[in-house]
Amino acid sequence: MINIIDIYKIFSNSYKDLDWWPVDKKYHKKNKTDPRFEIIIGAILTQNTAWSNVEKALENLKEKNRLDIKSVIKTDENELKEMIKPSGFFNQKAGRLKEVSYYLAEKYNCNLDNLFKKNLKELREELLSLNGIGAETADSILLYAAEKPIFVVDAYTKRLCKRIPINVNIDYDSIQKHFQNELSKEYSGQDLVKTYNNFHAQIVIHAKEHCKKKPNCKNCPVSKNCKKLL
């Protein structure tokens, strides 16, 4: 049976370093804004939708210069809903963006360094306490914005675990614990953060190219290990 580290090495050979989360660094440099807040926005907007829809919403926010905490707070909520409409569930998501922005302004004076300097456990509990922030959203923020060593599990990861198959219960906590236990045997420190970053991104790319709901097995790098469960 193939193990997690072997899968990661195969994916790294096939998909290379992907350096996620995608943010517009030029935009933030020009506007002197924090790109990590764009990751927070993206992590909320990507709930229950495809990333291509999130990109449209982010472009709308960018055009209006609304990719920072203070701008989201100042934006009328109905206007915010219209801008993020491509991401779906825009009524809920606009409220969540507002709440998170107010929280970061009131508790951390809009300074994400003050938030992200906390340890992983404390920071994760705090994020999960916020309205509309579940495990996948919190862990995406922790990994990609705060650069903390935590593995993000999504629907693509669960599908991969079913099809390989990986001998683990197909629930968020079990998969996360298994991946982290295995990968931490070979990687540590910032290398571990980079590994979690790359592996999650590689799984997403793999799922889009091969491990779809209806699998496309041609040239799949792990096809010989796959049970092709639908």
For 35-85, how does the pLDDT look when each residue is reduced to its tens digit (9 = 90+)? Answer: 999 999 999 999 999 999 999 999 999 999 999 999 999 999 999 999 999
Lowest mean pLDDT among 67-71, 148-152, 161-165: 161-165
* Domain boundary, last residue among 81, 114, 145: 145
The number of domains in the chain is 2
Residues 58 and 120 in one domain: yes
Helix (H) or strand (E) holding 182: helix 172-183
Residues 41 and 139 in one domain: yes
Residues 66 and 139 in one domain: yes
Domain that holds residue 208: 4-19+151-225
Measured in whole angstroms, how far is the alpha carbon of residue 137 from the centre of its chain? 6
Global pTM reads: 0.94
Dihedral angle sign, alpha carbons of residues 110, 59, 47, 85 = positive
In this prediction, residue 229 carries a pLDDT of: 53
CA pair distance 143, 43, nearest whole angstrom = 11
Tell me whether the omega of the peptide bond preceding residue 165 falls within 30 degrees of 0, making it cis. Answer: yes
Residues 72 and 102 in one domain: yes
Residues 107 and 41 in one domain: yes
In a domain, 28, yes or no: no
Residues 119 and 176 in one domain: no
Split at pLDDT 50, 70, 90, the class of 230 is: very low
* pLDDT one-digit tens code per residue, 1-44: 789 999 999 999 999 888 789 999 999 999 999 999 999 999 99
CA pair distance 48, 127, nearest whole angstrom = 19
Residues 119 and 54 in one domain: yes
